Amino acid sequence: MKLNSLVILFLLAMPLPSALAATVSCPDLGKAVQVGACPAEEELRYTYAGYCSDDAKAYKGETDVCSDYRRYRALKNVALWESGDGVFNAYVSCDLPADKLKSARVAAVRVGKQGKMTQLVCGYGDGLSFTWRTRAECKGEAGANCAANPGSCKADCE
C-alpha cells in the first residue's frame, strides 16, 4: 500500500508533457467585462489626503503624484477588467468609456518575466494593456504585425 502511494506521488510530481503546450492569443476586448468598481470622487479625495500626507513616502521621494490632485486621480481612478474568458486582466482608467475599450484592437504583444512568472502582455494602444500571468514558459512571435493581423498576436506556452 505504501509503495502504491509513493508511485502515485512520484507520478504527480513529474512535469507535464509538452503535449499540453498551448497557443495563447490576445483577447477580443469586445467581450471584456468590468469586475471591479470605480472609486467614488469622495473616496479618491479622502485617499489622496492620506496617501500624500505619509511622511515615509515624502522621505523616499515617492510623492510625484501628490503635486497635483489630477495626477493622483489619473493614477488611482481605475477599475479591474477581465477578458471574456477571465484569463487576461487589466486596471483600466474609469475615465475611458466602456465602448471605446470594447472597440480597441490589439496592436502589440510582448512576453516577459517577472520573477518565476511569465507575462503575456497584449497592448491595445493609448496605454491600455491586458496581461496573462502563468508559470508556464512562453515564447511570442518575433516581429508579429498585430495591427495588420491580430491573429499573429499570440504566444506558444508549455
Answer yes or no: are the C-beta atoms of 72 and 48 closer than 8 Å.
yes
Chain center to CA of 129? 7
Q: What is the pLDDT tens value at each position of the chain, 158 positions in all?
A: 454 444 343 334 444 444 457 889 999 999 999 999 999 999 999 999 888 888 777 778 777 888 889 999 999 999 999 999 999 999 999 999 999 999 999 988 889 999 999 999 999 988 999 999 999 999 876 556 677 777 778 889 88
- For the CA atoms of the chain, what is the radius of gyration? 21
Q: Tell me the whole-structure pTM to 2 decimals.
A: 0.78
pLDDT at residue number 9: 39
* In the chain, domain spans: 19-35+97-158
Sign of the C-alpha dihedral, residues 156, 28, 146, 113? negative
- The rounded distance, in Å, linking the Cα atoms of 111 and 87 is 15
What does 67-119 look like in DSSP terms, one character per residue?
A: G-HHHHHHHH-EEEEE-TTSS-EEEEETTS-HHHHHT----EEEEEEETTEEE
Which residue shows C-alpha cell 469586475? 35
Question: Helix, strand, or coil here: 59?
Answer: helix
Residues 6+ apart with CB under 8 A from 80: 34, 35, 36, 89, 90, 91, 92
